[in-house]
Structure 1
Amino acid sequence: MKKVGIFYGSDSGNTQTVCEKIASKLGKENTELVDVAKASKDQLLGFDNLILASSTYGSGDLQTDWEDFIGSLDEADFSGKTVALVGLGDQDTYSDTFCDALYHLYDKAKGGKLIGQTSTDGYTFDDSKAVDGGKFVGLAIDEDNQDDMTESRIDAWVSQIKSNFA
């Protein structure tokens, strides 16, 4: 398996913790965790395999560090890259923008081979830009209301995507 660059933005620490769990399940020797606040465009584009992770803030916005960084990827070429996405959100308080950060990451990386779409089953929300064809465009995690499901969702998702990171 080629090395996977896991780029995350985290204010409260939840996204970082989720990414550390993902890295552990993929094998720490196979992954490099990078806080997007300290990342460069060249560093991100240096990986053929990527996991991009952000929590959703306010009314469907990216996490602050991602907000600052995402513009640097406007001209980025994701062709030839395998990309998986992770979004965190609160489906109770922000039911109409649940995990919208996934959409913003998806919109930037859609030129690559996107993997890791997940079912909306088991979630209760009104709307999300991150749903395409009845599935989330990546892994959706709700640490606020369903933290008891995080581990099993990560396990299932990592099993689904691992073989794509050849």
Structure 2
Amino acid sequence: MARIGLFFGSNTGKTRKVAKMIKKRFDDDTMADALNVNRASAEDVAQYQYLIIGTPTLGDGELPGLSADCENESWEEFLPKLEGVDFSGKTVALFGLGDQVGYPKEFLNAMGILYDFVVERGATVVGAWPTEGYEFEESEAVRDGQFVGLALDLDNQSGLTEERLNVWLKTIAPAFELPL
């Protein structure tokens, strides 16, 4: 079994694309295939000590899901299934997608929601990311002056995605025992 679980929620497919970009950098022994949470179970998540979790932020700072007008279930419907999962001893890295120009007051809020969820259940979160280079007004994903995970804006800064992803993966590598 792979050592790292890679889970994402998506609406337009952009978060899926980033998850596949992450997976492409690792072999099957190191990282499982990216799995959309609308196809996952709590047991799928619980089996991993190391997790990389991704989400877009929709609407007024919401998790993707049916109430945010997604076509399929996503994080909104999956989080209640994870209520009983103990994240103690798990290391989690988060990545989030948002639109800092169109939604400057809600930029990456969903990543902040996932951060709170896993931390409340005992997870150690790694991979904080600087806020420099972004133009937004507010974000629930900023704690102690940094994003709680990798911040991506494929709508306005898509040309920076590869470089940001490479730097972030090197940042989380020691905590995940990754050979980068």
Normalising TM by the smaller chain, what interval?
A: over 0.9
Partner of 2:123: 112
Partner of 2:90: 81
C-alpha displacement at 1:74, in angstroms?
A: 2.0
Partner of 2:51: 50
1:126 aligned to which of 137, 140, 158: 137
Unmatched segments (≥5 aa) in structure 1: none
Say whether the 8 Å CA contact 1:5–1:31 is kept in structure 2: yes
Partner of 1:92: 101
What secondary structure, in the 3-state scheme, does the structure 1 residue paired with 2:95 have? strand
Measured against aligned partners, the alpha-carbon deviations of 1:97-147 in whole angstroms (never above 9, x if no partner) come to 000011111011112111000000100000000000000000110000000
TM-score (norm 2): 0.88
TM-score (norm 1): 0.95
Partner of 1:162: 173
CA distance in 1, matches of 2:173, 2:28: 13
CA distance in 1, matches of 2:5, 2:141: 22
CA distance in 2, matches of 1:24, 1:157: 15
Say whether the 8 Å CA contact 1:25–1:158 is kept in structure 2: no
Count of residues in correspondence between the two structures? 165
Partner of 1:59: 60
Query: Could you list the runs of 4 or more consecutive aligned residues of structure 1 that deviate by over 6 angstroms after TM superposition?
Result: none
C-alpha displacement at 1:164, in angstroms?
A: 1.0
- Percent of paired sites with the same residue: 40
Which segment drifts farther, 75-84 or 91-100?
Answer: 75-84
Q: Structure 2 matches for 1:4-19, cutoff 5 A?
A: 4-19=4-19
CA distance in 2, matches of 1:29, 1:43: 16
What secondary structure, in the 3-state scheme, does the structure 2 residue paired with 1:162 have? helix
CA RMSD of superposed structures (Å): 1.1
Q: Which amino acid aligns with 1:81?
A: K
CA distance in 2, matches of 1:122, 1:96: 16
Higher relative contact order by CA 8 Å / sep ≥ 6: 1 or 2?
Answer: 1
By percentage of residues, which structure has more strand?
Answer: 1
Q: Which amino acid aligns with 1:12?
A: T
C-alpha displacement at 1:28, in angstroms?
A: 4.4
CA distance in 1, matches of 2:130, 2:95: 13
Residues 92 and 28 (structure 1 numbering): CA distance in 2 closer, same or farther, change over 3 Å?
Answer: farther
